[in-house]
Chain A
Amino acid sequence: MIHLEQVVKSYDQQVNIVDNLDLRIHKGEFVVLVGESGCGKTTTMKMINRLIEPTRGKVLINGEDISRVDGNELRRNIGYVIQNVGLLPHLSIEKNIATVPLLCGKDEVEVNKKVAELLEMIELPAEEYAQRYPRELSGGQQQRVGVARALANDPDIILMDEPFSALDPLTREQLQDELLKLQDELHKTIVFVTHDIDEALKLGDRIAVMQGGKILQYAEPEELLKNPLNEFVENFVGKDRLWKTPDMLKAEDIMSRRVVKIAPNRSVVYAIELMKEHGVRELLVVEGSRLLGVVGSNRIKGTGDTRIKMRDIMKVDIVKVPRDMCLVEVLNIRKERKVAYISVLDEQEKIVGIITDTSILNVLTDIVPEMEEY
């Protein structure tokens, strides 16, 4: 939907504020540009509605080069929310929201209906708020109106430039939640700029971490936490964040991917061989593609009898979980069902891994913050 191609912005010949930047944003996606101040995130965003013209490179929206579109026309069809809200203080709330559709010459009756709808949506009832002036509203309410104003002309794209950073933490959180709720219903393409990584992780479908006018990593929040591309991203995201947000960890992150299968009629000796060969402590007993049970090394020890087959000693109470189940839920299941093994299935019900005490321990050791920090 939005495509930045080799975009460069420089104010003099020496420094590129935005440096050969490529960015693809899909329709309906909530993308957050995050980085320290001066990293070029706002400049990048403003090139999407041509408040800033790129020095080199192209910005395409739906495949169309926007430099060929009239700037004002373009901006009327892109919602825009800024940090300082910027409501027109001399106009009532109602008129503020109606500004853009009226600029576009839309029918006044239609516009008024839309305004009432939007006020309803942002939970500022029209009877009470429509005729008020911006200064009579709290900061949080003002920014709600700011968001409603951005939605008034039914744009497909909304640009948000640190819209919540001037609000107190409580209101900020509230507006973030509301925005997520809105996005669930409206599926707009949102480009959101912030310096707050917490906000980015909370809101973004995908996050672009920027530094020095470049995108260092462009990935989903989970990916960013688990596989930061380099040290800068890791430090920026926060090394111990995964630890603080265990719901970001999924079943597939705590499972052992080394799945070794064995047929039910195999002997203990063969099982020991297999374990040694693959360096695992558990074997999945599988018939065809059906999982029958799990045999752990503790079950095999002490049974020298070669006549004993896998199906005789395997544990059969295997819990299956989808791979995107979150860590907390998995641990709860383990506790409730008192099972030692949990098999993890993908979308095709295929086993992709197994969760054991060891696999959990391995993951936890990886993500526990380094000792000297405490």
Chain B
Amino acid sequence: MSVINYILEHYAEMLQRVMEHVFLAGVSVLIACVIGIPVGFMVTNNKRLSAIVINIANIIQTIPSLALFAFAIPVFGVGAKPAIFALSLYALLPIIKNTLIGINNVDPAIIEAARGMGMSTGQIMFKVEVPLAISVIMGGVRIATVTSIGIATIAVLIGAGGLGQVIYQGISMMDYDMIFAGAFFSALLALIVDYLLGIVEKHLTSEGIVNNTKV
């Protein structure tokens, strides 16, 4: 019960931390989408290139997040910038990977028929591949978003704020209510955002495609 009391008492601060957190994760995922989805599309037709890209993304993923945040400081200083840089890099892998999988999963017969009907490469991409791959691509975006919200709590160590701030303060003050409040909001945020993205995904996916991904 004391947790609820804590949240009610620090209502304004909590809201501000949540907004910071949304900003960090949101901007990072957006950047990762802008880079990752086109990259995924570009390398689909080239097996070797797509293997290289996936490997690079995999390697980035293996770098411990704490270290990656630290590496970003000499370049971007402290604050939100290095945090967004590191979070974007983490978000890249699921987005590129799912874009690749989504497009590779499009039935070659459909592409052949589209070519045979006289669609240009661009038309095939936007009228066939994107609509058919969209649910898989969106799946990648959702994974990236949820992980980003989680990892963003560590960004407090490089002065980026967010819900990590609440948790970190709680740890240093041995205030379990505070730790719990931060963790609770972080988890809640991840669930809500994932749910909202699920609705977006559903709207972007044609009824004609059997959708296996659960919202």
Contacts and interface: CB of A to CB of B under 8 A. Distances in A.
B131 A90 contact: yes
Contacts of B127: 88
Interface size bracket, A side = 20 to 34
Majority SS at the chain B contact face: helix
Given A85-B113, A86-B112, A134-B208, A72 B107 contact: no
Nearest to A131: B207
Contacts of A133: 206-208
Interface of B: 107, 109-120, 123, 127-128, 131-132, 205-210
Contact of B114 (A88, A146, A159): A88
Contacts of A76: 117-118
A111 to B, nearest CB: 14
A44 to B, nearest CB: 15
B117 A99 contact: yes
Given A90-B132, A90-B209, A133-B207, A85 B118 contact: no
Most chain B CB within a 10 A radius of its CB, from A71, A76, A90: A90
B118 A103 contact: yes
A69 to B, nearest CB: 11
A341 B206 CA distance: 70
Contact of B118 (A74, A84, A89): A74
A88 B110 contact: yes
Most chain B CB within 10 A, of A84, A86, A134, is at A86
Contact of B113 (A71, A82, A135): A82
Contacts of A73: 118
B129 to A, nearest CB: 11
Given A89-B132, A89-B209, A75 B118 contact: yes
Given A90-B131, A90-B206, A91-B206, A75 B116 contact: yes
A348 B45 CA distance: 64
A92 interface: yes
Contact of B208 (A80, A82, A90, A103): A90
A43 interface: no
Contacts of A86: 107, 109-114, 116
B209 A103 contact: no
A189 interface: no
Contacts of A99: 117
A209 interface: no
Contacts of B205: 90
B116 A49 contact: yes
Nearest to A95: B208
Interface string A330-366: 0000000000000000000000000000000000000
